[in-house]
Every structure is written in C-alpha cells, then in structure tokens.
Structure 1
Amino acid sequence: MEKRLKLLAESYDITIDLGRKGINLYERLPEYITNDPDYHIYLKWATKGSECSKIVEHLSPEKNMNFIDMGCCLNLMFRGYDKWPSTYHGIDISSKTISLLNEFTTKNKVAIGSLHCTSIHKTPFKNNYFDIGACIGVLEYFEQDFVSMAIAEAHRIIKPYGKLVLDIPNIENPFCRIMMLIEEHLGRPDKFNISPLEFEEVLYNHFEIEEIEKIESDPMIRYFLRCKK
C-alpha cells in the first residue's frame, strides 16, 4: 500500500511541477487515446467536473459547516469549492498539490480551515468533525482493502447524519476505459477491483445510500450518502 501511495504522490507531484511551467499533460495525450472514438464524448464529462449542481444540492453547504474534501487535488481552485459558504478542509497525498493550494489561498485571500498532505485512509481530524464531505475521483486508484479503510475513516470523521458524496468507476462504461487509459499513461493506473454490489456492501455498515447516480455518458457511478452512527 505504501508503494501505491508513493506512486500516486509522485505522479501528481510531476503533474503540478509541469503545470507550473505551463505544460498540461491532459493536452499532450498520445494519439491512441485522442483518436479513440469514445475520447471526445469522455471530454464532455471531464470538463464538467465535480462542481455539478447535484453535489451541491445534496451536501447543501452552509456557513457554519465544516467540509472535508478527501483527495482534494485542485478542486478548491477549479471546482468551485472556494465559493461555498462552508469551511473548506482538504487532504491530498501530493505535497506539491498542497503547496499550490496554500499559495492559491494566500494570494486570493481565500479563507479555509486547513490543508494536509496525507492519505484519505488516515487523517488528522477528530471524530465527528465534519458536517459534509466529498471524495471525488479518488477511490478508483485503490483495491478493496484500501477502499474499505477509506470508507471507515470517512465514517469516523463525519458527524452522525452528515452527508458525503463519493464516486467509483463504472467499469462497464466505455468512457471509463478512456479514463483508465489516460490514468495509466500518466503513471497512476487505476486499481479498483470491486463490483458496485461489493462496494455497496462496504458502505452499508457506515452510510445510508440516499441515491445512486449512474449516467450513460459518465464513467463514474456517484453515491449520495448519509452517515450512520
């Protein structure tokens, strides 16, 4: 597991370093990916991102809420989380990502709660600290044992009846294949090895599933959850 986390951290660190130089790796994909007939439809989903209204509607962020972004990447910069009234907390395995977010918050005077370079399965927060949370575009990198630990950790830090949104890859979706090709090309291949039913069994001990969103044009299956204690 430690090797896996190190690989992911290094891959995202490289992406950040190149991004600072104006190099966007997603714009330099090989032709075997960009010429794939499913690629351009995949792009429509990728540009939508995690700021979709349904996530906001479910989490219903308010001023006095603490929000945890698990595996935050650059969501604070590009997915609208900096505009939410809730207090933002982010964790990510990439130290370069956290550094860039710290620069962003300082430069733009964005008030947040905290940023931590750590794994989603072992966070520095107290029990029942968060009202709402999200884990978007993260779990696909891991196998079942780690996913189970991450779900248990989310359950620990989210308040009773608190809300969480997360997603997993829809392996049967052709656009998921494109996503996996891209991630493998970037040096962080997806390792998710759980069927939706198996994943839902993991959830049942910790969260109530309020809704499952599965869309034909979306490579991910999104879960809207409420924390059970």
Structure 2
Amino acid sequence: MANQLESVSKSYDKAIDFGRRGIDLYEDLPEHITNHPDYPIFQRLKMEGSLSDSGRKEIKEYLSPDTNMKFVDLGCCLNLMFNGYDKWLSTYHGVDISSKTIQLLNEFVTKRKLPIGSLYCGSIHETPFEDNYFAIGACVGILEYFEKDFVEEAIIEAYRIIKPYGRFVLDIPNFDSPIFRITKLIEEHLGRPDKFNMSSQEFDTMLQNYFEIEKKEKVAGMIQYFLVCKK
C-alpha cells in the first residue's frame, strides 16, 4: 500500500509540474494506447469534457451544500479550481496525497481570497479531522488506485468523519466499460496503475456496514454511488 500511495503521489506531482509548463500528459501517449480500439471513444469524451465525473451537477444536487455545512473532498485533485467546488456554499476541506496539488490549490485560494476550511496533504485513509465533523463529502476518481484492504480503510475513515445521516458520493471502476479499459491503460502509463480488485457486488457488501446506498449511476467508465452514513 505504501508503494502505491507513493506512486500515485509522484504521478500527480509530475502532472502538476508539466501542467504549469502547459504540457498535457494525456496528449503524448504511446501507440499501444492510441491504436487501441477503445481509444476513439476516449478522445471523443475528452474533447467533450466528459471524462471526469467529479464536476457532475448530480453530485451537487445530491449533497445540497449549504452555508452551515462542512464538506470534505477526499482525493480532491483540482476540483476546487476546475469543477465548481469553489462556488459551493458549504465550507470546503480538501485532502490529497500530492503535495504539489495542495501547493497549487493554496496558491489558487490565496489569489482568489477564498474562505475555505483547510487543505491537507495526506492519505484519505488517515485524516486529521474529528469524528462526525462533516455533513457532506465526496471521494471521486480515487478508489480505483487501491486494493480491497486499503479501500475498506478509506471507507471506514469516511464513515468516521461524516456525521450521522450525512451524505457522501464516491465511485469505483465499471469493469464492463470501454472507457475504463482505456483509462486503465493510460493511468498505468502515467505511473499510477489501477489496483481495484473487487466486483461491484463485493463493494456493495462492504459498504453495507457503513453507508446506505440511495442510488448508483454509471458515468465516464465508473460507477458513482450516492450514500447516506448509517450511524
């Protein structure tokens, strides 16, 4: 697990460094990816801006962020910058393993003078927050990097910091999707291979101890879950 956390951290640090220089690592892919039969679908969705499921309006509608709510974004990446989370009424707290991601977000927050809660560099399975601290939360585009044991640790941590009946959104890979098949190849090329090794049925069973599943939706090669904390 430690090695995978380090790989994910280094990969996203590299992406930030290249992004600051105007280089998109998704534009320079090897032939075994660009010649793959699923690649045209990936290209089309990328051009449409439909690859990420973090900025879906359905997330905001479900979580219903309000001024009296604290929101935790586990594995936040650059959601605050690019997916509209900076405009939510709730108080934003971001957690990410990439130190350069957190650095860039801090620059963004300072420049825009955003009244956020905190930005924490660390793993989603060990956060510094108190029990029952957040009314709402999300963990989107993260769990696919990890195997079952770590995934359950992350779920337990989310359960710990979310309030009773708090709402939570997360996603896992849709192994039947051609989009996931091609993005898995790309993620491996970028140095952060997908390690998720559970069926959706196994994952649902794991969740039952911690969250009630209100609905599931298939989007962008993933299965997105809309959950309520069962405390």
Which TM bucket (shorter chain)?
over 0.9
Stretches of structure 1 that go unaligned for 5 or more consecutive residues are none
Match of 2:203 in 1: 199
Match of 2:18 in 1: 18
* Residues paired across the two proteins, number: 227
Segments of 4+ moved more than 3 angstroms: 43-46
In 1, the alpha carbon distance for the partners of 2:84 and 2:203 equals 28
TM-score (ref. length: structure 1): 0.95
The RMSD of aligned alpha carbons is 1.2
Match of 1:129 in 2: 133
Deviations 1:41-96 (CA, angstroms, capped at 9, x unpaired): 23454523311111111111111110000000111101110011111100000001
Deviations 1:138-183 (CA, angstroms, capped at 9, x unpaired): 0000000000000000000000000000000011211111110110
Of residues 171-180 and 25-34 in structure 1, the stretch that sits farther from structure 2 once superposed is 25-34
Partner of 2:179, secondary structure, is: helix
Structure 2 residue identity aligned to 1:136: V
Match of 1:167 in 2: 171
In 2, the alpha carbon distance for the partners of 1:170 and 1:137 equals 12
In 1, the alpha carbon distance for the partners of 2:116 and 2:133 equals 15
Deviations 1:111-161 (CA, angstroms, capped at 9, x unpaired): 210000010000000000001001000000000000000000000000000
Structure 1 residue identity aligned to 2:40: H
TM-superposed CA distance for 1:30, in Å, is 2.3
Structure 2 residue identity aligned to 1:145: D
Stretches of structure 2 that go unaligned for 5 or more consecutive residues are none
Structure 2 residue identity aligned to 1:101: L
Matched, 1:6 2:34: no
Match of 1:97 in 2: 101
In 2, the alpha carbon distance for the partners of 1:28 and 1:16 equals 16
Name the CA shift for 1:111/1:96 in 2 (closer, same or farther; >3 Å). same
Matched, 1:158 2:162: yes
Structure 2 residue identity aligned to 1:80: G
Structure 1 residue identity aligned to 2:119: L
Partner of 2:198, secondary structure, is: coil
Matched, 1:221 2:230: no
Amino-acid identity (%): 64
